[in-house]
Structure 1
Amino acid sequence: MSFHMTYDEKHYFCFFYVFFLFQFRCTNCGESRDYWQYVVVNEVLDIPGSRGEANLVEKCKLCNRMNTVSIVKDSLGSYSSTEHNEEWQSMIQLDCRGLEPIDFDFRMGWSAVGAETSTVFDDIDLSEKVGFICSFSVSLKCIDHYSF
């Protein structure tokens, strides 16, 4: 079955933002968070003590290091099994400074379009990650850039 997977634009207008849920580990002390954190596309925060901005700014509770996550500009994409012969494709790129993503949670807002029939499947539940992601891996690229 071929399909084109993307974030459902209807949810974008409903909630006024697009977000992704991650669990992170501090690269300085190794503390893992046991809760999900939102990285919001349209939310840009000032980094304390810096002129920079990021989509997520967090101070580690264990080592007190200020950590940031930014969504790389123009990196949001969609998955198309027909265009790329069902190969791995990047859907988002993060610039992580001090944090390592250890898990990603598909929640609401995903849709797919059948490649042959153009049938639209709205609000797909991918929370179990079965059949879509067989294993979760993080590979290091550049300076703190992770690909899922």
Structure 2
Amino acid sequence: MLMQVYAILENNIYVEMAISTLEKNGIPKASIYAVPLDNRQEERKLFDNLHSSDGTSLIDIGVALATAFSVIGTSIGFELAWGPIYWGLITGFIGFVIGVAIRLFTEKVLKKRKRLLKGKHPEVILIIDCEGKTAELVENILWEHLALGVAKVK
């Protein structure tokens, strides 16, 4: 019975080692197919839309700072000319703007640096055609060579 074994590995020396180990164990070169995946070239979108979200909120710090600033502005506003309501709204708006600016700075500058330093390595998909009796051996070889995931299809 013919089976296909699929595996995803990082594109490094372990891919070559896994392929050569498979060939040494009787899997012909014509039965091994490697497909390298490309990295994402475009930047991720900073603002979410209705259909997709990355789970990062830009207003969370802004709302917290708006609350804190409006409480302080309201209490100080009792002593100022316009009164507590106007000063609470003004300082709340200022706190919100400062919080959104902080979040934009962290997302655009600090996290971008972290992503550049960390770097993403492209991955390789290996497709191996083998007999059912050798599928377990192929799977073990792939796991030994640091496969990220392995699947068997009959």
TM-score by length of 1: 0.27
**Greater relative contact order structure (CA < 8 Å, 6+ sep):** 2
Max Rg structure: 2
TM-score by length of 2: 0.26
